[in-house]
C-alpha cells in the first residue's frame, strides 16, 4: 500500500475523502500564479493526508506551530508532530502549522505584501492567539525573524500590541534562550507533553476575564517550566561576564525548572496517525521514539544531559503505536528513533514483534543510532540489504586517550571487533564519524583518526579471504567541528578558531594518504564557518540579539544551509554590535562564572557538570547510568533509569 492511498480512520477530526475534496476548493492564501512559479508549491497548501482539518472558529483556543526551516525538514520533526497531536486531540483547541517560506516565495510575499499563513487553515498567522516556534538548532534564528516579519508581528517582543499572537519558543535551543530573548514573549523549558496544556487553560481564563497581554504573560510566567524574558534583567561585570540575572516582575520565579514526563506511558500524545505530505519530505517514514534520553554521558553531548533521565517507552504501547502508525499512514518505512536505540531495555522483544510484521508487508525498518555489537549487527543484517548499505560507527575521537576524555565509553578493541563482525557479516562499506577540536585534543589524537580508519580497513582484509571479497573495503571518515554547548561538562571549554580547525582537518587528510590501505579510505570535513556562528549562539547572552536582528535586516536567512549563509555579513554585524568572538567562543570560562542559562534548573546539577569537567581534564571515565548512578541530579524527576533497580 502506498502512502497516498486512503484508509478509513476512527480518529475524531481526521479528514475523510469528502472533506479533502471540500478542502481542495477552499481559498488558498497564495494566488494560482504564485503557486505556479515557486518551487514545490505543495509546501504551502496543507490538506496532507492525516491532517486534522478542524474548524478554527469552533474551538476556544487556537495556536499555530512553526518549524523555522523549509517544510520538507519541518514535517519530519517529531517534536512538531507531537505538539500538533497534543493540541488537536483536544476538542477545545486548534493547532495549525507554518514553516519558513523558501527564498523564492519569501521574495514574492514581500513584493506583493502577502501575509504568512498557517498551511492548514490558510489564515494569516496574526489571526492566532499563540505562535509556538520550535528551536532545534541555533542556525535557524534568522528564520525565526523571517517568520515574524512575514506575519506582520513586530520582531521585538516589547513592540508587540495587545492583539499580536504571543510568541513562545521551545526545543533544545530554548535551554539557552538568551541570544533570542528579545524576540520571544516566553519560552517553554522542558517536554511539551507536560507543559503545553496549561497554555490552553491560560487562554481560556484570559478570554473569560478579558485579561491584557501583560496579565496573560504573568500567568504564563507562573506555570512551571515557562520563562518570560521581559520579566528578568541581566547585568554585567566590567570584563563582560554576567554579574547577575534577576527577576523584575513579582510573578517571575528566580529559577525555571525543566518539566519532564516522568512516565512515558501510552496516555501521552503521540502522532499515531502521522502526516503524509503530498511532496516527498526529507524523511518519508513513520517515526517511533522508543525511549527518551541516553544512559551514556558523552561529555560533549547536550541531548545526553538535557533529556535525562533515560525513560523507556512501554513495550506494548510501542507495539500498538507501530502498527497504528503504519496502517494509518501507509508509510513503507518505520524509523526507530532515540539517542541510542540499542539501549532500549525491551529492544529484542520489540524486534521479535515488529520484524516479522514489517517483513510480511515489505516495510523497511530504519535504526539510525545503534551501537555496533554482535546483537546489533545481527539485527542490521536482518533489516538491511547488506550489499547496498553502509554501517555507521561514531568513535568521535581517534585515540583511546581522547575517547576517555569525552567519556565515549568505547574501546579500540570494541571498535575493531565490531568492524570485523560487520565485515564477516557481509558489509564492505563503513562510515566513521569523528569530531575535531574537542577539549585537550592534541595533534597525536588528530593523527590517530587516519590510523584508526586504516586499522578498520585492515580488519576487512584480515577477516575476509581474497577469493570471497566483494571488491575493496570502503571506509569513509568524516569530521565535524566541536561546539561547546550549555548544560554539558564542556560548557567551560574554549572553542577552536576556524584556521585551527582547518589545520587539524588537513592533518587528518594528509594522514589518510600515509596509511597502508589508503586506497580504501576517504575523508570529508564539515564547514567550519557555520560552526563559528553556532558557537556564539549556543553560549551567547542577551547582547547577541542585536547582531541577529542586524544580520536579518541585512539579508541573512537560512543560515543552516551552507549555500545560503552569508559569513561576511555576519562578521560585519558582530563587529558593528561589539560582539567579540574571542569573548564568546575562544576563552576558557572560569568555574565560578555565572552563565546566562544558569537560571534554568534541568535537574542535572552544575556541581555534577563540574565534576565531569574535572574528570575530563584527568582523563577519567564515568560509568553509564545502568552500570552505576553518578548522582547527576536527574533522579529528582522520580522516573526512568534512576529507579530501574527498584522495579
Ligand atoms: S541520577 Fe544517576 S541514574 Fe539517574 S540519570 Fe543521573 S546518573 Fe543516571
DSSP of 361-395, one letter per residue?
A: HT-EEE-S----SHHHHHHHHHHS-TTT--EEEEE
Whole-angstrom distance, CA of residue 401 vs CA of residue 395: 12
Ligand 1 contact, 629 CB (< 6 A): yes
Q: How many CA within 13 A on the CB side of residue 638?
A: 2
Ligand 1 contact, 309 CB (< 6 A): yes
Whole-angstrom distance, CA of residue 116 vs CA of residue 119: 9
CA of 615 to the centre of ligand 1 (A): 17
Whole-angstrom distance, CA of residue 638 vs CA of residue 177: 26
44 prior amide bond cis, ω within 30: no
The answer on pLDDT for 296 being more than 80 is: yes
Under a CB-based contact definition with an 8 Å cutoff, are residues 94 and 87 in contact?
A: yes
Closest-lying ligand 1 atom to the alpha carbon of residue 625: 8
CA of 624 to the centre of ligand 1 (A): 8
> Residues 400-410: what's their mean pLDDT?
96
* β-strands 364-366, 391-396 pairing: unpaired
pLDDT of residue 19: 44
Q: Is 530 helix (H, G, I), strand (E, B) or coil?
A: helix
CA of 262 to the centre of ligand 1 (A): 13
Ligand 1 contact, 632 CB (< 6 A): yes
CA of 636 to the centre of ligand 1 (A): 9
Closest-lying ligand 1 atom to the alpha carbon of residue 635: 1
Q: Is 304 helix (H, G, I), strand (E, B) or coil?
A: helix
CA distances from 175 to 251, 274, 343, 539, 594 (A): 21, 27, 25, 10, 15
CA of 631 to the centre of ligand 1 (A): 6
**Digit-coded pLDDT (tens) for 167-221:** 999 999 999 999 999 999 999 999 999 999 999 999 999 999 999 999 999 999 9
CA of 535 to the centre of ligand 1 (A): 28
Closest-lying ligand 1 atom to the alpha carbon of residue 308: 5
**Digit-coded pLDDT (tens) for 78-113:** 999 999 999 999 999 999 999 999 999 999 999 999
Whole-angstrom distance, CA of residue 531 vs CA of residue 586: 12
Closest residue by Cα to atom 6, ligand 1, is 632
The answer on pLDDT for 17 being more than 50 is: no
Which band of pLDDT confidence, cut at 50, 70 and 90, is reported for residue 646? very low
CA of 643 to the centre of ligand 1 (A): 9
CA of 308 to the centre of ligand 1 (A): 7
* β-strands 311-312, 291-292 pairing: antiparallel
Q: Whose CA is closest to 2, among 540, 529, 363?
A: 363
The answer on pLDDT for 401 being more than 90 is: yes
Residue 374: CB atoms within 10 Å = 11
Ligand 1 contact, 306 CB (< 6 A): no
> Residues 327-345: what's their mean pLDDT?
91
Closest residue by Cα to atom 5, ligand 1, is 309
CA of 628 to the centre of ligand 1 (A): 8
Closest-lying ligand 1 atom to the alpha carbon of residue 641: 3
Ligand 1 contact, 641 CB (< 6 A): yes
The answer on pLDDT for 8 being more than 50 is: no
Q: Whose CA is closest to 62, among 118, 16, 12, 14?
A: 118
Percent of the chain with pLDDT over 70: 94
CA of 297 to the centre of ligand 1 (A): 10
The DSSP string of 3-54 is: TTS-----STT---HHHHHHHHTSPPSS-HHHHHHSS-GGGGS---BT----
Ligand 1 contact, 634 CB (< 6 A): yes
Closest-lying ligand 1 atom to the alpha carbon of residue 632: 6
Under a CB-based contact definition with an 8 Å cutoff, are residues 173 and 597 in contact?
A: no
The answer on pLDDT for 5 being more than 80 is: no
* Neighbour order of strands in the sheet with 226-227: 93-99, 61-67, 130-134, 166-170, 186-188, 226-227
**Strand pairing partners for 396?**
434
Closest residue by Cα to atom 2, ligand 1, is 629
Under a CB-based contact definition with an 8 Å cutoff, are residues 342 and 370 in contact?
A: yes
CA of 602 to the centre of ligand 1 (A): 13
Question: Ligand 1: which of 625, 627, 636, 645 to mutate, most ligand atoms within 8 Å of CB?
Answer: 625
Who's near 118: CB < 8 A, 6+ residues apart?
Answer: 46, 64, 96, 97, 98, 125, 128
**Digit-coded pLDDT (tens) for 243-280:** 999 999 999 999 999 999 998 989 999 999 999 998 76
> Residues 114-127: what's their mean pLDDT?
97
Asked whether the CA dihedral 27, 28, 29, 33 is positive or negative, the reply is negative
Average pLDDT over all residues of the chain: 92
Closest residue by Cα to atom 8, ligand 1, is 625
pLDDT of residue 386: 64
Q: 396's torsion region: left (phi>0), alpha (psi -120 to 50) or beta?
A: left
Ligand 1 contact, 630 CB (< 6 A): yes
Closest-lying ligand 1 atom to the alpha carbon of residue 293: 5
Ligand 1 contact, 626 CB (< 6 A): no
Ligand 1 contact, 642 CB (< 6 A): yes
**Strand pairing partners for 430?**
391, 475
**Digit-coded pLDDT (tens) for 355-388:** 999 999 999 888 877 777 777 878 877 777 766 6
Closest-lying ligand 1 atom to the alpha carbon of residue 604: 6
Which band of pLDDT confidence, cut at 50, 70 and 90, is reported for residue 10? very low
pLDDT of residue 3: 36
The answer on pLDDT for 416 being more than 80 is: yes
**Residue 482, C-alpha cell as written in the block:** 566541536
pLDDT of residue 2: 36
Which band of pLDDT confidence, cut at 50, 70 and 90, is reported for residue 20? very low
**Residue 366, C-alpha cell as written in the block:** 530504519
Amino acid at each position: 500500500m502506498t502512502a497516498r492511498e486512503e484508509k478509513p480512520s476512527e480518529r475524531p477530526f481526521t479528514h475523510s475523502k469528502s472533506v479533502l475534496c471540500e478542502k481542495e476548493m477552499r481559498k488558498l492564501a497564495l494566488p494560482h500564479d504564485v503557486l505556479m512559479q515557486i518551487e514545490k508549491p505543495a509546501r504551502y497548501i496543507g490538506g496532507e493526508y492525516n491532517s486534522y482539518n478542524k474548524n478554527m472558529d469552533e474551538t476556544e483556543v487556537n495556536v499555530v506551530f512553526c518549524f523555522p526551516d523549509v517544510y520538507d525538514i519541518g514535517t519530519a520533526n517529531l517534536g512538531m508532530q507531537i505538539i500538533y497531536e497534543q493540541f488537536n486531540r483536544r476538542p477545545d483547541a486548534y493547532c495549525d502549522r507554518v514553516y519558513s517560506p523558501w527564498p523564492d516565495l519569501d521574495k514574492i510575499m514581500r513584493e506583493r505584501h502577502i501575509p504568512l499563513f498557517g498551511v492548514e487553515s490558510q489564515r494569516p498567522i496574526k489571526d492566532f492567539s499563540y505562535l509556538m516556534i520550535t528551536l532545534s538548532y541555533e542556525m535557524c534564528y534568522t528564520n525565526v525573524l523571517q517568520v515574524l516579519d512575514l506575519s506582520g508581528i513586530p520582531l521585538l517582543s516589547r513592540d508587540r500590541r495587545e492583539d499580536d499572537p504571543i510568541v513562545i519558543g521551545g526545543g533544545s535551543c530554548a535551554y539557552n534562550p538568551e541570544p533570542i530573548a528579545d524576540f520571544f514573549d516566553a519560552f517553554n523549558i522542558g517536554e511539551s507533553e507536560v507543559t503545553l496544556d496549561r497554555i490552553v487553560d491560560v487562554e481560556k481564563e484570559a478570554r473569560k476575564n478579558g485579561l491584557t497581554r501583560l496579565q496573560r504573560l504573568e500567568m504564563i510566567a507562573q506555570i512551571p517550566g515557562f520563562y518570560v524574558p521581559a520579566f528578568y534583567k541581566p547585568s554585567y561585570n566590567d570584563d563582560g561576564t554576567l554579574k547577575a540575572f534577576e527577576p523584575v516582575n513579582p510573578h517571575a520565579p528566580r529559577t525555571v525548572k525543566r518539566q519532564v514526563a516522568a512516565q512515558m506511558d501510552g496516555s501521552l500524545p503521540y502522532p499515531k496517525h502521522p502526516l503524509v505530505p503530498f511532496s516527498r519530505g526529507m524523511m518519508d517514514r513513520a517515526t517511533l521514539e522508543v525511549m527518551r534520553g541516553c544512559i551514556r554521558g558523552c561529555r560533549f553531548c547536550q541531548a545526553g544531559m538535557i533529556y535525562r533521565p533515560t525513560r523507556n517507552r512501554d513495550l506494548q504501547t510501542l507495539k500498538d503505536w507501530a502498527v497504528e502508525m503504519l496502517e494509518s499512514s501507509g508509510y513503507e518505512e518505520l524509523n526507530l528513533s532515540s539517542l541510542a536505540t540499542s539501549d532500549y531495555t525491551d529492544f529484542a522483544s520489540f524486534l521479535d514483534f515488529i520484524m516479522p510484521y514489517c517483513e510480511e508487508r515489505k516495510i523497511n525498518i530504519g535504526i539510525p543510532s545503534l551501537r555496533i555489537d554482535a546483537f546489533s549487527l545481527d539485527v542490521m543484517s536482518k533489516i538491511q540489504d547488506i550489499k547496498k548499505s553502509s554501517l555507521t560507527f561514531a568513535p568521535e575521537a581517534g585515540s583511546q586517550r581522547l575517547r576517555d576524555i569525552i567519556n565515549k565509553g568505547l574501546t579500540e578493541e570494541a571498535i575493531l571487533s565490531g568492524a570485523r563482525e560487520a565485515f564477516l557479516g557481509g558489509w564492505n562499506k563503513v562510515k566513521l564519524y569523528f569530531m575535531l577540536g574537542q577539549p585537550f585534543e592534541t595533534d597525536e589524537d588528530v593523527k590517530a583518526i587516519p590510523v584508526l580508519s586504516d586499522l578498520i580497513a585492515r580488519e576487512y582484509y584480515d577477516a575476509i579471504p581474497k577469493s570471497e571479497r566483494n571488491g575493496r573495503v570502503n571506509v569513509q571518515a568524516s569530521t565535524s567541528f566541536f561546539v561547546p554547548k550549555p548544560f554539558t561538562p564542556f560548557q567551560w571549554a574554549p572553542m577552536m578558531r576556524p584556521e585551527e580547525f582547518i589545520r587539524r582537518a588537513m592533518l587528518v587528510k594528509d594522514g589518510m594518504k600515509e596509511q597502508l590501505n589508503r586506497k580504501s579510505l576517504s575523508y570529508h570535513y564539515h564547514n567550519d564557518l557555520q560552526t563559528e556562528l553556532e558557537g556564539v549562539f549556543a553560549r551567547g547572552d542577551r547582547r547577541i540579539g542585536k547582531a541577529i536582528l542586524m544580520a536579518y535586516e541585512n539579508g541573512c536567512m537560512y543560515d543552516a544551509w551552507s549555500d545560503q549563509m552569508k559569513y561576511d555579513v555576519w562578521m560585519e554585524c558582530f563587529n558593528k554590535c561589539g560582539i567579540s568572538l574571542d569573548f564568546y567562543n575562544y576563552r576558557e570560562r572560569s568555574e565560578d562564572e555565572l552563565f546566562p542559562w544558569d537560571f534554568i534548573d534541568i535537574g542535572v546539577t552544575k556541581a555534577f557538570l563540574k565534576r565531569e569537567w574535572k574528570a575530563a581534564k584527568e582523563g577519567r571515565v564515568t560509568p553509564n547510568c545502568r552500570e552505576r548512578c553518578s548522582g547527576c541530579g536527574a533522579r529528582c524527576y522520580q522516573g526512568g533509569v534512576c529507579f530501574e533497580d527498584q522495579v
